[in-house]
Structure 1
Amino acid sequence: MLKTIINLEPGKKVYFASDQHFGAPNPKESKMREEKFIRWMDEIKEDAQVLFLMGDLFDFWHEWKHVIPKGYVRVLGKIAELKDRGIHIYFFVGNHDLWMKDYLEEEIGCTVFYKKQYFEMGGKQFLLAHGDGLGPGDKGYKRMKKLFTNPVAQWFFKWLHPDIAMKVALYLSQKNKMISGEEDKAFLGEDKEFLIIYSKEKLKSEKLDYFIYGHRHLPMVLDLEQKAKYINLGDWISYFTYGVFEKDFELKTFADGTKKNYP
């Protein structure tokens, strides 16, 4: 099991945020949420050593050779500012921005991951992933993901004019639950939540302290066996929740523009 070890400096923290879905449902409403996320990044930049963006920062993202989607300038600029301050930024590709390539790495200096990763921080063991496609079930989405990550399908898509491609992709992203992977936000129970099932199976063979995911849009900290914790980071659509780790993990909210414990 390969893992990245991060030695936390005194007084520094690790932050986690997921599922902003910027661009949805329209540019005007998205910009209001973008401004709140930018204010949050301003709040954390003084004590952040690491920022994990856990997927679906954008409701849709595609990189052509010389073109990226219009918008998000202030969000990307703020992420670049944090990186220039020496904050390490790790970006997990989600199911809405799975066509991310090298733009964030080359232009901002983020480290981009396309699958789950293991980290050790503060002596604790972490498994981090966006969460889509893990665990049992969700077969319709898994089939769709295979299509979307197929090199031939990607090659054909890139030859569409960006205006046409973005219009089609945003429509599908917002209207088709099979593509979005988003189900009812109500808690289904430990025996039906696929990410909890996946985490419990992992604990049978691996010693881990924290399982941290996005994707599900349902903020939650759940105790598992062996003193491990399942964590879903929620989203920046309804909950405006985020995680912070120093010696222990805390789930917090920025819903009213101030940092508070969640719930």
Structure 2
Amino acid sequence: MLLLLSDLHLGRGSRDETRAAERDAVAMLRAHESAVLEGGALVLMGDVYDQFIEYRHLVPKSAPRLVGLLAEWADRGAEIVYVVGNRDPWHVGFFEDDIGVRLTTDWETCRDGRTLYIAHGDGRIPAERLSHRLQPILRAPLMARLYRMGLPGDAGYALARWTARAFGTDGAPDLEVVAELAQVAHERLAQTDADVVAFGHCHAPALEATPDGTYLNPGYWFGDRTFARIDIDGPALFRWTDGAATPLDALA
């Protein structure tokens, strides 16, 4: 089984809101612990943090409970893949070297006879042309290094936090982005051998079957507590509510 979790945005809102989102995420992960540890995998699909800039000896402190669980699982041999998003790509080595999590910008794998393509989804659509053009510059190792050299830890993180709040949104889905991201997924299904294409980013859960395969989006954990699973029966969407996973179609 693959467990997919996207857009936790830890650090968004008040400290209490972040702690609630983190604690619910840890509870949900614990509920799926045996399935992940016994041959499954956890995929974090980007924007785990609302803003993230790692320094050589410093990392943001927004998610100590989640980080502790990831380290425990990695020590027990779990496969954990962290697909970085538009708000958390500036890693150095903490997650890979100290925890044992695989970091990547996208991930292709085969599970239960299905070919899967998984990415965060940012920078792929006409509605975000500026983001697409700036992405190679902002993610370039040299630019990240200059940023770290020019601004010490607290100042650098404070600027990243201010930028995220000043130019970010309230988290509500942009319908244009939702539609265009789905179209990109449908095109990839038609043009490649992928059976499932999974994106996050747009904060809208989706499970759309097409003649070429399935588009899956786990949705916006911070605001809606939704997530996805892919097992031998195929992809499915859930919401974590009242301490349990409830199928999203049942809630609808």
Q: 2:6 aligns with which of 13, 18, 42?
A: 18
Q: Give the equivalent residue in structure 1 for 2:34.
A: 46
AA in 2 matched with 1:239? D
Deviations along 1:218-247, one digit per CA (max 9) or x if unpaired, are 011112222x11111101122111111211
Contact 2:185 2:197 in 1 (8 A): yes
Q: Give the equivalent residue in structure 1 for 2:229.
A: 244
Deviations along 1:143-200, one digit per CA (max 9) or x if unpaired, are 33233123443222102121111111111112203xx7x88515449xx722222223
Contact 1:38 1:75 in 2 (8 A): yes
Q: Give the equivalent residue in structure 2 for 1:253.
A: 239
The count of residues paired between Structure 1 and Structure 2 equals 244
Distance in 2 (CA, whole Å) between partners of 1:156 and 1:54 is 27
Query: Where do 5+ consecutive residues of structure 2 fail to align?
Result: none
Q: 2:115 aligns with which of 122, 125, 131?
A: 125
AA in 2 matched with 1:23? G
More displaced stretch, 240-249 vs 80-89: 80-89
Contact 1:94 1:130 in 2 (8 A): yes
Q: Give the equivalent residue in structure 2 for 1:7.
A: none
Q: Residue 156 of structure 2: SS of its match in structure 1?
A: helix
More displaced stretch, 146-155 vs 58-67: 146-155
Q: Give the equivalent residue in structure 1 for 2:203.
A: 217
Contact 1:218 1:235 in 2 (8 A): yes
Distance in 2 (CA, whole Å) between partners of 1:30 and 1:187 is 25
Distance 1:184 1:73, change over 3 A: closer
Q: 1:233 aligns with which of 203, 209, 218?
A: 218
Moved over 3 A (4+): 186-189
Contact 1:63 1:100 in 2 (8 A): yes
Q: How much is the aligned-residue C-alpha RMSD, in angstroms?
A: 2.0
Bigger helix share: 2
AA in 2 matched with 1:130? H
Distance in 2 (CA, whole Å) between partners of 1:137 and 1:185 is 13
Q: 1:170 aligns with which of 161, 174, 187?
A: 161
Report the TM-score, using the length of structure 1 for normalisation.
0.86
Residue 110 of structure 1 and its aligned partner are, at CA, apart by 0.8
Q: Give the equivalent residue in structure 2 for 1:157.
A: 147
Distance in 2 (CA, whole Å) between partners of 1:91 and 1:230 is 19
Sequence identity of aligned pairs in percent?
A: 25
Distance in 2 (CA, whole Å) between partners of 1:259 and 1:183 is 22
Q: Residue 193 of structure 1: SS of its match in structure 2?
A: helix
Query: Where do 5+ consecutive residues of structure 1 fail to align?
Result: 1-12
Report the TM-score, using the length of structure 2 for normalisation.
0.89
Q: Give the equivalent residue in structure 1 for 2:24.
A: 36
Distance in 1 (CA, whole Å) between partners of 2:145 and 2:74 is 31
Distance 1:183 1:24, change over 3 A: closer
Residue 255 of structure 1 and its aligned partner are, at CA, apart by 3.1
User: Is 2:47 aligned against 1:62?
Assistant: no
More displaced stretch, 70-79 vs 133-142: 133-142
Distance 1:143 1:184, change over 3 A: farther
Contact 1:221 1:232 in 2 (8 A): yes
User: Is 2:100 aligned against 1:109?
Assistant: yes
Distance in 2 (CA, whole Å) between partners of 1:130 and 1:80 is 22
